[in-house]
Amino acid sequence: MNYNHFNLDDNPTNEAEKQWEKCLQIIKDNINFRTFQTWFEPIKAVALIDSILTLQVPSQFFYEWLEEHYVELLGKTIKRVLGKDGRLEYRVLMESASTNRKPAAMNLPGRSYSKPTNETNFVDMPLTWDDPHSIKSPYAIPGLKRMQIDPQLNEAYVFEAYVEGECNRVARAAGLAIAKRPGTTSFNPLVIHGGVGWGKTHLAMAIGNEVRRLHPNKSVLYVSSEKFINQFIDHSKNNEVNDFIHFYQLIDVLIMDDIHLFVTAPRSQDVFFAIFNHLHQSGKQIVLTSDTPPRDMEGLQERLLSRFRWGLNAEIQAPDYETRQAILRVKMRKEGLEIPDDVVKYIAYNINSNVRELEGAIIGLFAQATLNNKEIDMDLAKRIMKNFVKSATREMTIENIQKLVCEYYHVPYEKLMTKTRKREVVLARQITMYLAKKFTKNSLKNIGDHFGGFDHTTVIHSCNTVENLLETDMEYKENLQEVQQKVQMASN
């Protein structure tokens, strides 16, 4: 092997380009269009000397893939175009760490190709390198003769069990669209990102299960990035990397969980980059999940990040109070449980960060009631909740009440500190003052100070206004009772 630097702007010789074009016309007749686009269109002919055609390829991996999977096709094509002495040599581009240096090239020989003893019509020759039956699958289902993979999906994770709320509406809608038309929407890839326990894996698997229901002939695979990385390491040890890559390139819908784990595995990033490109160019669907947005993944290759931006980055946020209640009720129906409404609201209020903890609280509540032969009530719920959150017994403060009321009425917290007369802000301020007087031991002056310096007469006026409306406005009364219930839960 020899190394040299060359100018990327230099044009290949006309003769090399001309002969390579003849080769491409033959190759086109023997492989599918997507494969041709992926593996042959990026190649450039740069020299033709003494029947040796030099081809420039983008990377070492690209060179190895061609030599592993298309050596026979290339060998026959070169000898047909250039004669029996025709041979290939590759010029592999190598990235330089310095931006001021030109890319380096490494010249590598092509493998020799031995002509079969029996003459074969080249164009009619059956091709075997794209045959999925010859690829070893890490997820093969034992006993099946034809290739069929275990999708690795949890069948309980379906759209019907995935509660929609403001926190996940965009991601859920995109997931449904993908399930109906995988690989054909603009949501490819779909990158779902959000905190731990907020429903990313459930949604990703729901997409896979729905695709299998609507499109039973499509192959679907769910895999965590950790498992993918470990598989790659194992296949590398056994010199089976090409089989590993080729298998993943056969998947119609690839769902990969926790892609942020790739930041510590640069070699796995290279392999996934090749898989991603092939799937995307072949019109296959890619669904990815991450705890952080791609833009915050330090250590992930820029070329991967740029591809993650091709489709839709959909954020899932922590479920709000109403959504948490809905999640609990779905879980109750699934388990056949009956739990009083006030207990459901109490749990939904006190567990506000993790769906798994919500489900765990329901299971714990049911287990305690069954084992101790007790009714599920608020006292039992309070005892169970001590195992999940410290906030179940926190002291109520004016600040806590302010935040509760602002969340309920969708008013920015900082607006309460201003003297604006906007109706929604005045409403929230009056109710907050009323509840602060009722649930805390603060003086009227102290309550007023917590709102940016209102005096005690304003607090008295607010409390009187609330009490009058409670007697005359039924909707107002119902809303206030719900807010007050939240405050009471928080102070227990």
Q: What is the pLDDT of residues 49-58, one digit of tens each?
A: 888 999 988 8
pLDDT > 90 in the chain, percent: 16
pLDDT of res. 207? 95
Higher pLDDT, 395 or 338: 338
Express each pLDDT in 281-301 by its tens digit. 888 999 999 988 888 888 888
For the ranges 1-10, 296-305, 452-461, the maximum mean pLDDT occurs at 452-461
Q: Residue 135: pLDDT above 60?
A: no
Q: Residue 111: pLDDT above 70?
A: no
CATH of 398-491, one of 3.60.15.10, 1.10.3720.10, 1.10.1750.10, 3.30.1330.60: 1.10.1750.10
Q: Residue 175: pLDDT above 90?
A: yes
Higher pLDDT, 114 or 223: 223
Q: Residue 45: pLDDT above 80?
A: yes
pLDDT of res. 307? 86
pLDDT of res. 1? 38
For 321-392, which CATH class?
Answer: mainly alpha
For the ranges 204-208, 356-360, 380-384, 477-481, the maximum mean pLDDT occurs at 204-208
Q: Indicate the pLDDT class of residue 453, thresholds 50, 70 and 90.
A: confident
Q: Indicate the pLDDT class of residue 231, thresholds 50, 70 and 90.
A: confident
pLDDT of res. 107? 53
**Residue ranges of the chain assigned to CATH 1.10.1750.10:** 398-491
pLDDT of res. 139? 56
pLDDT of res. 392? 41
Q: Which fold has domain 2-109?
A: GMP Synthetase; Chain A, domain 3 (3.30.300)
Q: Indicate the pLDDT class of residue 194, thresholds 50, 70 and 90.
A: confident
Q: Indicate the pLDDT class of residue 149, thresholds 50, 70 and 90.
A: confident
Which range is least confidently modeled, 7-11, 43-47, 178-182?
7-11
Question: What would the 3-class secondary structure string for the chain be?
Answer: CEEEECCCCCCCCHHHHHHHHHHHHHHHCCCCHHHHHHHCCCCEEEEEECCEEEEEECCHHHHHHHHHHCHHHHHHHHHHHHCCCCEEEEEEEECCCCCCCCCEEEEEECCCCCCCCCCCCCCCCCCCCCCHHHCCCCCECCCCCCCCECCCCCCCCCHHHCCCCCCCHHHHHHHHHHHHCCCCCCCCCEEEEECCCCCHHHHHHHHHHHHHHHCCCCCEEEEEHHHHHHHHHHHHHCCCHHHHHHHHCCCCEEEEECHHHHHHCHHHHHHHHHHHHHHHHCCCEEEEEECCCHHHCCCCCHHHHHHHCCCEEEEECCCCHHHHHHHHHHHHHHHCCCCCHHHHHHHHHHCCCCHHHHHHHHHHHHHHHHHCCCCCCHHHHHHHHCCCCHHHHCCCCHHHHHHHHHHHHCCCHHHHHCCCCCHHHHHHHHHHHHHHHHHCCCCHHHHHHCCCCCCHHHHHHHHHHHHHHHHHCHHHHHHHHHHHHHHHHHHC
What is the mean predicted confidence (pLDDT) over 382-395? Answer: 58
Q: Residue 166: pLDDT above 90?
A: no
Q: Residue 220: pLDDT above 80?
A: yes
Higher pLDDT, 304 or 93: 304
What is the mean predicted confidence (pLDDT) over 351-366? Answer: 73
For 159-316, which CATH class?
Answer: alpha beta
pLDDT > 70 in the chain, percent: 82
Q: Residue 5: pLDDT above 80?
A: no
For the ranges 214-228, 339-353, 401-415, 475-489, the maximum mean pLDDT occurs at 214-228
Q: Residue 181: pLDDT above 70?
A: yes
**Residue ranges of the chain assigned to CATH 1.10.8.60:** 321-392
pLDDT of res. 180? 93
pLDDT of res. 121? 32
pLDDT of res. 191? 93
Q: Residue 19: pLDDT above 60?
A: yes
Averaged pLDDT score across all residues of the chain: 78
Q: Indicate the pLDDT class of residue 212, thresholds 50, 70 and 90.
A: very high
**Residue ranges of the chain assigned to CATH 3.30.300.180:** 2-109
pLDDT of res. 145? 38
Higher pLDDT, 357 or 86: 86
**Residue ranges of the chain assigned to CATH 3.40.50.300:** 159-316
Q: Indicate the pLDDT class of residue 232, thresholds 50, 70 and 90.
A: confident
